[in-house]
Amino acid sequence: MSFDFSSLIWIVIIVMALQPVLMGRWFAMRREQAIRAIEKARGTRVITMIHRQERRSLFGFSVARHIDLEDAQTIIAAIKETPDTVPIDLILHTPGGLVLAAMQIARAVEAHPAKVTVSVPVYAMSGGTLIALAADEIVLGEFSVLGPIDPQIVGLPAASIVKARDSKPVADVMDLTLVLADVSEKALAQVKRGAVEIMTPRIDQATAEALADKLAGGHWTHDYALTASEAKSLGLRVTVGMPIEVMELMKLYPQPVQRSGVEFLPVELPRRPRI
């Protein structure tokens, strides 16, 4: 059997088309091994929600992920099938997403009888922070961050829409602004009430209300980086020190090859002198 040039071209095309699928399977296998190792070492059930840009389909286009209802359905099922006596390690890496989905996950986290630890290797913003509020413990790395949970209406901060409406006489405010402000007030009240609900089993009502108002009340920009020290000062149950196993697991959720202009070589340790 002989191969001509056109056959070689077709083989190359098939290999290139299958490469994202094969790499995805390989990373999935490595992730399963890493998760099993963490579970065995810590005696917990590990659940991950890692939202990074990923290559999808045979053509390898990139897709950015956020918290959605599919995530909520999957995580809730995983929590419900976990025995009541088994602690859960929930690893979060997310820019946030739908308030509805995040609140559903947070309620499932709060309802689990055994200890639930939320680990944030890099960041868990917005809805990710809302989920973390429901945990018994939040583990952050030295440079990990959380973020405000203030709702956004048509891409604008709800608190700012209300402030804009109240800054001038109502006769001078556009009807659209009045409608958006009405929706914004409802969204702010709902998010604050939900945050208090998921926190009160572990902290007192007054502290929960103050914390919910601070995080959801529009005191910062929505992308404000809430560091571990500031989170502690607000009263969050934060522990600093990310297990190396979790950081190694994060490497198995790669970004697309063209993701960044940052490059570096592995550190070469000095060789020990021979005797």
Q: Give residue-wise pLDDT tens across range 62-78.
A: 455 789 999 999 999 99
Task: Kindly state the percentage of the chain with pLDDT values over 90.
Answer: 70
Per residue in 177-193, pLDDT (tens digit) is 999 999 999 999 999 99
- Residue scoring higher pLDDT (41 or 61): 41
Reported for 246-251, long-range contacts at CB under 8 A and 24+ positions apart, including other chains, are: 246/38, 246/91, 246/119, 246/121, 247/121, 247/141, 248/34, 249/31, 249/34, 249/35, 249/38, 249/48, 249/91, 250/50, 250/93, 250/121, 250/122
pLDDT confidence of 25, banded at 50, 70, 90? confident
Region 227-246: mean pLDDT is 93
- Looking at residue 61, its pLDDT comes to 47
pLDDT band at 31 (very low <50, low <70, confident <90, very high): confident
Give the pLDDT band of residue 57 (cuts 50, 70, 90): very low
The predicted structure's pLDDT at residue 58:
42
Q: Tens digits of per-residue pLDDT, 81-131? A: 999 999 999 999 999 999 999 999 999 999 999 999 999 999 999 999 999
Set out the domains of the chain in order of their start, with CATH numbers.
9-147+225-256 (3.90.226.10), 150-221 (no CATH)
Prediction pTM value:
0.83
More confident residue, 61 or 77: 77
Is residue 228 predicted with pLDDT exceeding 80? yes
Q: What angle do CA 232, 109, 51 make, to 5 degrees?
A: 80
Confidence bin at 255 (pLDDT 50/70/90):
low
pLDDT in tens, 138-187: 999 999 999 999 999 999 999 999 999 999 999 999 999 999 999 999 99
- The pLDDT > 70 percentage for the chain reads 81
The pLDDT of residue 174: 94
Secondary structure (3-state) at 203: coil
| pLDDT reported for residue 59 | 46
CA distances from 244 to 141, 185, 247 (A): 10, 42, 5
